A = this chain, B = another copy of it.
Amino acid sequence: MTTDAPAPSDLAFVPFVSVQNMMRLVQSIGVESFIEGIAAYLEEDFRNWEAFDKTPRVASHSAEGVIELMPTSNGEVYGFKYVNGHPKNTREGLQTVTAFGLLAQVDTGYPVLLSEMTMLTALRTAATSALVAKNLMPKGSHTMAVIGNGAQSEFQCLAMKKLCGIRRVKLYDIDPAATAKAAKNLEGQGLEVVSCTTAQDAIEGAQILTTCTADKQCATILSDNMVGAGVHINAIGGDCPGKTELHVDILKRSDIFVEYPPQTRIEGEIQALPDDYPVEEVWEVIAGRKQGRTSESQITLFDGVGFAIEDFSALRFVRDRIKGTPFMEQLDMLADPDDPRDLFGMLQRSSGE
């Protein structure tokens, strides 16, 4: 760089959290505390739900998958997530879902954080599930069944331990190798881990039933006769049209709680129900406006699909927690000429480099 081309000012730099730095940040805080921290931000944003710009995902569909943008704003901060969903990727050694996200100041439009969100989405999904379960599960819940032991399963277990007091997890996957992987990863995490060979075994004695399977076309992971009274179902797999996990009769026996009805009716379990089927919005329960569980025998169902505000909360948490840490880089992403009208001059003056 010549003396004619001064270094960009601080305004031109956007803090970037890479995958490596996200993992370092999570490790420095601890996985459970990190999830608990996101949950606190989630709770704050759910209470402030009505102040947010809400819109269904902006999706670009193709034969192989979907690429989506999920924007939202609370009037002060704007955020969006880029996320893809390509079920066939796994067969090619790629992630089904990759994601990154951004926060910007509404008053200037300047980005203030760019972050990986593959890891962060897993953490925020677990935080959301646990925050919702805390508000809906039967009192004194101690055991959770986890049907589907893929990338999301361990995060769910630790979140439910930290926020809901779960002490025992019962794992089941159609692929025993997935169960073995999850059981091994959960060693030494302070949970009693039971590996099961059928879904029915896993559900036995559990108060929280988590389904987090992927790559299924309207598969029925739970059938009606498997689910007794007095449980909370946390159904977070199957997050696009044509993907469901629960038999429709379970839905009809449950009180259903969702994030944002216009999106969930397209993507969630309730796509199997009529468009006007009554559902509750979880933010109203968390904000204390609506009652959650009303009896011990009730079946509550969180039909979670993941909503933009949850990513927003997670990004806000990361933005606040990376301050003063070395877990970020500064990206020279915004042109910052001395005179905003002189972009061309800025380019010309860079020519000596």
Is A178 close to B, CB under 8 A?
yes
**Most chain B CB neighbours (cut-off 10 Å) among A119, A333, A348:** A333
CA distance A67 to B76 in the complex (A): 12
Structural contact, A69 and B67, CB atoms closer than 8 A: no
Instruction: Give a binary string over A97-129; 1 marks a CB under 8 Å from any B CB, 0 the rest.
Output: 010101010111111000010110010000000
Known: A24-B353, A98-B335, A116-B333. A110 touches B122 (CB 8 A): no
Structural contact, B69 and A58, CB atoms closer than 8 A: yes
Instruction: Give a binary string over A19-39; 1 marks a CB under 8 Å from any B CB, 0 the rest.
Output: 110011011000100000000
Is A75 close to B, CB under 8 A?
yes
Number of interface residues of A (CB under 8 A): 84
Please, which residue of chain B has its CB at the minimum distance from the CB of A92? B108
Q: How many whole Å from A1's CB to the nearest CB in chain B?
A: 8
Q: How many whole Å from A338's CB to the nearest CB in chain B?
A: 9
Structural contact, A340 and B96, CB atoms closer than 8 A: yes
Instruction: Give a binary string over A205-216; 1 marks a CB under 8 Å from any B CB, 0 the rest.
Output: 000000000000
CA distance A60 to B72 in the complex (A): 8
A53 contact set on B, CB distance < 8 A: 60
Is A176 close to B, CB under 8 A?
no
| Other-chain residue from B20, B66, B100 in contact with A350 (beta carbon distance below 8 A) | B20
Query: Which residue numbers of A lie inside 8 Å of B, CB to CB?
Result: 1, 8, 11-12, 16, 18-20, 23-24, 26-27, 31, 53, 55, 58, 60, 62, 64-67, 69, 71, 73, 75, 78, 80, 82, 84-86, 89-90, 92-96, 98, 100, 102, 104, 106-111, 116, 118-119, 122, 149-155, 178, 181-182, 185, 331-337, 339-348, 350-351, 353
